[in-house]
Chain A
Amino acid sequence: ETGVTQSPTHLIKTRGQQVTLRCSSQSGHNTVSWYQQALGQGPQFIFQYYREEENGRGNFPPRFSGLQFPNYSSELNVNALELDDSALYLCALWTGLSGYTFGSGTRLTVV
């Protein structure tokens, strides 16, 4: 039990649709990062939020967007879904010396 909760755990969407993935924790963490992990690959950095502001972004198009709320929960939104967006999406909370603690992820399938 990591204390980081992601929902939903699994999701099937149709190409062109929009999806919202959610992340929360039992204790407040002001820095959250989102990662996309395709099968057989390492996690790819999407973006990071610190105190409700995006302060870092990987090589992902603008249709990937996010939010962080005052209670430090977070959302990842993906518009105009493509087949290649099928992946495991991981939320990670920064815990300082112990690095990032990951949620168990949302497995998204785009058909």
Chain B
Amino acid sequence: RKEVEQDPGPFNVPEGATVAFNCTYSNSASQSFFWYRQDCRKEPKLLMSVYSSGNEDGRFTAQLNRASQYISLLIRDSKLSDSATYLCAPNTGNQFYFGTGTSLTVIP
């Protein structure tokens, strides 16, 4: 089983839509979780960190389900600038194992 699994997509959604991505992880020792966004041919940049059951930052909400070992990212009111690849990273001993990422394209 892979350390981290994400639906690669692509997700193509219209502006203003709500979209959700899921990420499952195999290591139950993971204590904290991070979502990164990565634009084409650029480095990943931190979007959100999750240390408890969830976190919310504006249009972005992350929810953690430790029992089922998955974490989700919800984006409300999608903007064109949200088009990117979203990477999930559970943190185990400060070592991140990333998923393949989920590709999102927001369409005008």
Take A56-B93, A99-B34, A99-B96 as given contacts and tell me if A43 and B45 are in contact as well, using a CB distance cutoff of 8 Å: no
Partner of A99, one of B6, B91, B97, B101: B91
A45 and B43 contact, CB distance less than 8 A = no
What chain A residues lie within 8 Å of B41 (beta carbons)? 88
Q: A61 near B: Cβ within 8 Å? A: no
Mostly helix, strand, loop or mixed at chain A's interface? strand
Q: Which residues of chain A have C-beta atoms less than 8 A from B91's C-beta?
A: 99
- Minimum CB distance partner of A41 in chain B: B100
Cβ of B96: which chain A residues have Cβ within 8 Å of it?
33, 43, 45, 92, 99-100
Whether B94 contacts A2 by the Cβ 8 Å rule is no
Q: Tell me if B21 counts as interface (CB < 8 A to partner A).
A: no
**Stretch in A12-20, A76-84, A102-110 with 4+ CB within 8 Å of B:** A102-110
Which B21-58 residues sit within 8 Å CB-CB of chain A?
32, 34, 36, 41-46, 49, 51
Q: How many chain A residues touch B (Cβ–Cβ < 8 Å)?
A: 27
Task: Determine the distance from Cα of A88 to Cα of B6 in the docked complex, in whole angstroms.
Answer: 20
Count, chain B residues at interface, CB 8 A:
25
CB distance from A106 to the nearest CB of B (A): 11
Contact A102 B43, beta carbon cutoff 8 Å = yes
Give the complex CA separation of A44 and B99 in angstroms: 9
Is B49 in contact with A99, judged by CB distance below 8 angstroms? Answer: yes
- Which residue on chain B has the smallest CB distance to residue A31? B94
Given contacts A99-B49, A104-B42, A105-B43, contact A43 B94 (CB under 8 A): no
CB distance from B26 to the nearest CB of A (A): 14
What chain A residues lie within 8 Å of B49 (beta carbons)? 97-99
Is residue B73 contacting chain A, with contact meaning CB distance below 8 A?
no
Q: How far is the CA of A99 from the CA of B45 in the complex (A)?
A: 10
* CA distance in complex: A31, B96 (Å): 12
- CB contacts (< 8 Å) of A65 on chain B: these are none
B43 cross-chain contacts in A, Cβ below 8 A: 2, 90, 102-105
Q: Does A86 contact B (CB under 8 A)?
A: no
Show the binding face of A for B, using Cβ within 8 Å.
2, 31, 33, 35, 40-45, 48, 50, 56, 58, 88, 90, 92, 94, 97-105
